Structure 1
């Protein structure tokens, strides 16, 4: 059944795609029908919540151990956390210029498309849609499941089957919420962002109180035992930057932002420094309670902190960490669906993935596709392996995107730039990205990196027959499935991009 407010007639066109028209019954109540496109429902508060809510997820509750392992001491560990915040801010400033210059959704995708052309953008969408985004979603969901199940298994590790089932349920629930309503997804994001900021404040205030009481023993000789390995520091940055990942999330939904020229820069300028300060203070709080060796042995750092400091209210910490990871998973799902939607719209994925729900004005096919892939990643997943795999490829594309900004300063001089950052900022991001990609490979070569490279280049096998030299045959093959899926899900092509 269709919405009572509007009566839509749908017919199957000669090429097998479903078209739709609208009768003017809405004139009776003087309401104007929405166009079948993604709506501009994301304001400044929701934009900040998306950035903060996606960045503060599982990383700050998992990565402290990995960063400490890579640095070897408290002092350099805190320095890495601060440096990661600076780097995330520099990267975000590059994305502010790109996002206000090219106001299209899809994150790095439209910038690589404009700067380097179709092939590079395709390889990015191929890698990100099939590996990076669903693996990120899976990592956060697994973190959610780990913290949600830990209180029920005191003194031991939760069964793997329980953790994976909870993670799959988390992915399924969030995907459904995002398919049903953009506003509902925003409300969920805002609520859980407020919850995670509350637990961050509790941890930080507790740390300040303990410091005031003289718990400073772990900060004496803070640089003693520092690891100086070229690759180890790179891996420490990997894990720190995993906690900061999400600084570019607003660029994935640029087309849904209200007044993007104002709200995109403001959201980034407010959100990322806030998260950076929170992360450094949270790590200081951890070290006021735990020695480095104790932090490394803790299966759940934030829970251990709560047990030692907040008794008898220590149960609040795992509860709010569950809220935090759930909110981050929601943000990850929200943005990844937009990349899949844009790639489908541009012809780099099947057109069906660019279709929009008639009822809810959400990219439901793209969201469902991403959710299904994420569940597959949950099944065999090892969190640390996934983080390294994710970071290696992701920072390669971050570097390419920053380089596209430099390139377009010379090749796209005609483009309007409401915000223009000093050229040295993208240069720094490119250099650091090269280091983060190459350092771990040079220091400790592993098959993961080779597999990742092969997978990225493997996209060429599909690019030429399915994208470059299609001659329409892929559309003819997909037509019956597309037609039946449209009827089942009540989805149609976006109006401003025509029919398939």
Structure 2
């Protein structure tokens, strides 16, 4: 009698360096090259530009250090989904997993893919977003334009998805190589930027560094903002910095493939977020050393790094940044694609996602989950709605981060017997500080930028009926007698 082959298992092939590169590589996409323009338009001063990045960096480091306790307690594939399930219940975990699939991960993959195409157009203009290949009429007079940039981004997503179906070793090779390359490139840009230091620009930018005011349409700065308006402006400005610093938790999703997850996931979170925070803050200080605030705020298409590079390197600067962003977004999307499918895999194991997503291919990876993630991200690329989705990602992501950190307090009471090889740094002070800062950020967005919040809440709420539908299907399967 022939025995059936043993089911495929995830392979423990990722070490500390791989985990750190996944954290850093998933965080650094195109945001650091772009979002500072919008921040300056909101806050209007160098001091608050840097403070916005420092506050976000502090929040990211704090939440990452706190996540170390959870990752050591539950070293399984799925990361944040598992933590929410253990601290609360399947319902809360599903709402996160659904939001992750519908908006957070797939929307980010789409946006990063299109960013790759946009900067590729500097080297090869036919792939530009302005090159409309064809249009589709729908709902009467509405037109959906399909550009070359969108098709290139979809090709990139499918290429990286295919590579990651061949095993985690293939994905980690791309991730480590491209992340090291972009870290060295960013470090080089910062060093050359300070080498091109312009004292007159620096002095002008930092003469009134802490006056917070908005930028008028003519390029002049408005009057100082009141305290409540200033807080709102900072919160809105942080939408960009938080999005640029997000995806740091991707390493928790692949804990089941780490060689020593109880130790290395926590260390990867710390080293990865620290490296990126230092680079982000340094890059923005460098911007203020070579570009007047007005030039940062009015950079063409918000491409601050391109403007800075032109000052530093001259005419070839645009090409240098284009190459850097292509490398950055390529590696970033690889990390997002590699890690995301592990969440759907864990959901499927709990009967909360497509059943087939809970199976592994011969290479030990959730291939079906990788492909449905690619399809949804590609649809978002074609829809052109990825930009609107990104406005609400920061709100939804922080909301679930806050719930997860509160989960540490819950689990200390609820499950004190579980081994904790690593405990949240400075507990309970730092986790409590993050919860307060996260809630303040979400509240300020609700007050001052509700359009950034209610679409995200709608996506989360859509998950409620979907959860009960999934539970009904599970119950029906359990009640159906097995056939021989």
Asked if these proteins are the same fold (TM beyond 0.5), I'd say yes
CA contact (8 A) 1:146 1:158 kept: no
Q: Is 1:144 aligned with 2:148? A: no
Q: Is 1:438 aligned with 2:448? A: no
Q: CA deviation at 1:470?
A: 3.4
Structure 1 runs of 4+ aligned residues shifted over 6 Å read none
CA contact (8 A) 2:236 2:449 kept: no
CA contact (8 A) 1:232 1:440 kept: no
Aligned pairs for 1:222-371 within 5 A: 222-226=209-213, 228=225, 229=229, 230-298=231-299, 299=301, 300-311=303-314, 313-314=316-317, 315-358=319-362, 360-371=363-374
Structure 2 counterpart of 1:182, from 151, 165, 168: 168
CA deviation string 1:59-89 (max 9, x = no partner): 1112212222232211101011111111100
Tell me the equivalent position of 2:388.
385
Structure 2 counterpart of 1:463, from 464, 467, 471: 467
Q: Is 1:453 aligned with 2:457? A: yes
CA contact (8 A) 1:59 1:242 kept: yes
Gaps of 5+ in 2: 133-146, 215-224
Structure 1 counterpart of 2:432, from 422, 427, 436: 427
Gaps of 5+ in 1: 1-8, 11-19, 23-34, 480-500
CA contact (8 A) 1:286 1:305 kept: yes
**CA distance in 1: counterparts of 2:459 and 2:273, whole angstroms:** 32
Q: Is 1:415 aligned with 2:418? A: yes
CA deviation string 1:352-386 (max 9, x = no partner): 0111112x221100100101000011112356522
CA deviation string 1:242-282 (max 9, x = no partner): 11112212111111111112212222222211111111111
**CA distance in 1: counterparts of 2:104 and 2:212, whole angstroms:** 34
CA contact (8 A) 1:171 1:371 kept: yes
Q: Is 1:102 aligned with 2:74? A: yes
CA contact (8 A) 1:47 1:250 kept: yes
Q: CA deviation at 1:475?
A: 11
Distance 1:104-1:468 versus aligned 2 partners, 3 A rule: farther
Tell me the equivalent position of 2:135.
none
Tell me the equivalent position of 1:93.
65
CA deviation string 1:132-158 (max 9, x = no partner): 11001111111111111134449x974
CA contact (8 A) 1:466 1:474 kept: no
Tell me the equivalent position of 2:193.
207
CA RMSD of aligned residues (A): 2.4
**Under a length normalisation based on structure 2, what TM-score does the superposition of the two structures give?**
0.87
Q: CA deviation at 1:237?
A: 1.4
CA deviation string 1:213-233 (max 9, x = no partner): 665232222223435423221
Distance 1:475-1:357 versus aligned 2 partners, 3 A rule: farther
**CA distance in 2: counterparts of 1:474 and 1:352, whole angstroms:** 17
Tell me the equivalent position of 1:372.
375
**CA distance in 2: counterparts of 1:437 and 1:374, whole angstroms:** 26
CA contact (8 A) 2:53 2:281 kept: yes
**CA distance in 1: counterparts of 2:21 and 2:469, whole angstroms:** 41
Structure 1 counterpart of 2:400, from 397, 421, 436: 397
CA contact (8 A) 1:207 1:284 kept: no
CA contact (8 A) 2:72 2:422 kept: yes
Tell me the equivalent position of 2:43.
71
**Under a length normalisation based on structure 1, what TM-score does the superposition of the two structures give?**
0.84
Distance 1:464-1:307 versus aligned 2 partners, 3 A rule: same
